[in-house]
Structure 1
Amino acid sequence: MNDERNFRSQYYEKVGFRCVEEKRSIETLLKDQPVDEKKLTNFSLRMTLPAAYRTLVWKLLLGITPRHPGAREYAHQQQVLMYEDLWSTLQALRLAQEFISITPGALALPVSEPYDQGKAPKPRHYLMMWLISNAKLLFNPLAQLRTHNNKCFLLIAERFVTMYKDPLDVYLMCSALWEDIEKNKAAIEGAIQDASGMIKKDNETLHQHLMKVGFFSSNIPQSFCQSLFCGIFPESAAEKVLDKVVAGCYKVLGYVLTALLTYLQCSLMMCGSANEMCIELNKLSEKGADVVVSSSMEQWHKVAITGTQKGVSSATN
């Protein structure tokens, strides 16, 4: 049976219909009751998630949607109530008045209302709601938004605002993903060290210049990796990175950072400081982002899936 499946997969890939096999595979996994999280994780690591199922898979892996279908409606109802409470709290604290008038006794933006870009919460409001839910909102919230960690949250929120129309989805995805990032800061630091090592091995000239200007000793690599490159990648490129990170593979960020620095080597070599490099990195074009992500995923896949260097465990943790 495995031989038959492998032959079919190879055939689909050769004729350009690999997505057909991927769609059938993910549909089979999602029919399990409850959904097998381990199988879903393995699929996300090995394949590109079909767009039609990406949101559901992310929600399942991030713990937003219960793995058992029977519990999903109740969970959603509770999430709606939680969101409404947080939004009302933001209003009561007079932190939501910048873009919407407040009607006494009424929720400013009910989740059930059609999406209206003019009324939708801004990224900073999603951050403040998350801070409230975790009892972390300080006396001066506007100053709090300027901290390094919170800037990274805002970049992620800005990307999700363009990806989802429902404010509830934006809040739940941002919150769950950010909490996962907070738990995996050590893995992110490890990915940055991996990037430095890979560049030193393959491109000594670039590595020496990066070290000379203090790029790796600055907080710039952390900012890009901790924000999952959402500030410079368009939606299509960001989704491919998020597929792996949501599946628990923060090590892939090291490959993305390596590909990014290598792709922009010519302009980076002209920079005399880490801050100048940051400006250049933020100029990355949409086409450049696609090249960077494709290159990094190809290299990561060779190491993580085919095990051509250190094997599966070293590249997927």
Structure 2
Amino acid sequence: MADDSQRNFRSVYYEKVGFRGVEEKKSLEILLKDDRLDIEKLCTFSQRFPLPSMYRILVWKVLLGIIPPHHESHALVMKYRKEQYWDIHHALREPEDEVFLAIAKAMEEMVEDPIECYWLVSCFVNQLNSKHKDSLQQLPKILEQYLNIEDNRLLMHLKACAAMSKLPYDLWFKKCFAGCLPESSLQRVWDKVISGSCKILVFVALEILLTFKMKIIALNTAEKITQFLENIPQDNTDAIVSKAVDLWRTHCGTPAHSV
């Protein structure tokens, strides 16, 4: 009886101070003692308890043993954490998976530790899908507004070619330039997004258009323009990002008002 009282007091105390690790530890240890890991049990565990940070590495390694390596594994673990049950062979065919994979692949070039990489990617994507979800949908229209201010002639050319609606907005805005900019330049852009301003994405896109203005004007179809913008030269992207940050500050003022 004394043991039960002591255990109950300890559990209540831990919950009061915000650390719910006692029961989680017991449940996880029991789960991991099974001869064969049951994925449904693992998902049930994640439904019952929030994942304590001290067990993130352990759970990651468990999942890593049954799923493909590298950035694809990040997307798959994310789906397990969402308690989605699906055929693993058809797991990465949703549109949001393509975005996740692009961001994860770029993040792998920035972060050596795969566990850190996963948590950074998942938090980053969650931020995009929650805080910035509505704002991201407005970015194409905002880009047109600023392009009209910076270079009306270029805007008129893009409209004449019916290219404004076909610019690579998914690559620029949904994927946050993952797969478009090299990682050294991408980090500076993502720093701004993480700090709260997704509008920096507009100014990076704007500066890309301004930088390659002469090339774009020489192209006369939307398809050719889009194809070029999806594969821009990589030799001066740091300069493009620097100019984009300057434009962002000029038009949006202080970072606190740049969201």
Q: TM-score, normalised by structure 2?
A: 0.71
Which residue does 1:152 correspond to in 2? 99
Which residue does 1:164 correspond to in 2? 111
Aligned counterparts of 1:85 and 1:162: Cα–Cα separation in 2: 23
Counterpart selection for 2:56 from 60, 64, 79 = 79
Note the C-alpha offset of 1:276. Answer: 2.5
Asked if the contact 2:168/2:226 (under 8 Å) is kept, the reply is: yes
Which residue does 2:47 correspond to in 1? none
Amino-acid identity (%): 19
Counterpart selection for 1:267 from 215, 238, 242 = 215
Task: Select the structure that is richer in helix.
Answer: 2
C-alpha distance 137-155 of structure 1, shift in aligned 2 (>3 A) = farther
Q: TM-score, normalised by structure 1?
A: 0.59
Note the C-alpha offset of 1:294. Answer: 0.6
Which residue does 1:209 correspond to in 2? 157
Amino acid of the residue matched to residue 302 of structure 1? T
Aligned residues: 208
| Structure 1 residues 297-316: Cα deviation after superposition (integer angstroms, max 9, x where no partner) | 01112333459xxxx53xx2
Residue ranges of structure 2 left out of the alignment (5+ in a row): 1-50
Amino acid of the residue matched to residue 171 of structure 2? S
Note the C-alpha offset of 1:180. Answer: 1.0
Amino acid of the residue matched to residue 298 of structure 1? D
Report the structure number with the largest CA radius of gyration.
2
Aligned counterparts of 1:145 and 1:182: Cα–Cα separation in 2: 18
Asked if the contact 1:192/1:222 (under 8 Å) is kept, the reply is: no
Note the C-alpha offset of 1:237. Answer: 0.8
2:193 is the counterpart of 1:245 = yes
Asked if the contact 2:171/2:230 (under 8 Å) is kept, the reply is: no
Amino acid of the residue matched to residue 221 of structure 1? Y
Match of 2:198, SS? coil
Aligned counterparts of 2:109 and 2:232: Cα–Cα separation in 1: 19
Asked if the contact 2:171/2:178 (under 8 Å) is kept, the reply is: no
Aligned counterparts of 1:194 and 1:177: Cα–Cα separation in 2: 22
2:198 is the counterpart of 1:221 = no
Amino acid of the residue matched to residue 105 of structure 2? E
Match of 1:249, SS? coil
2:197 is the counterpart of 1:286 = no
Aligned counterparts of 1:196 and 1:136: Cα–Cα separation in 2: 38
C-alpha distance 243-154 of structure 1, shift in aligned 2 (>3 A) = same
C-alpha distance 137-171 of structure 1, shift in aligned 2 (>3 A) = farther
Asked if the contact 1:245/1:252 (under 8 Å) is kept, the reply is: yes
Which residue does 1:198 correspond to in 2? 146
Which residue does 1:67 correspond to in 2? none
Aligned counterparts of 2:225 and 2:219: Cα–Cα separation in 1: 6
Which residue does 1:177 correspond to in 2? 124
Aligned counterparts of 2:142 and 2:191: Cα–Cα separation in 1: 20
Aligned counterparts of 2:254 and 2:109: Cα–Cα separation in 1: 34
Which residue does 2:39 correspond to in 1? none
Asked if the contact 2:168/2:230 (under 8 Å) is kept, the reply is: no
C-alpha distance 282-219 of structure 1, shift in aligned 2 (>3 A) = closer
Match of 1:217, SS? helix
After TM superposition, the structure 1 stretch with the greater mean CA deviation from structure 2, 75-84 or 232-241, is 75-84
Amino acid of the residue matched to residue 166 of structure 1? D
Asked if the contact 2:143/2:205 (under 8 Å) is kept, the reply is: yes
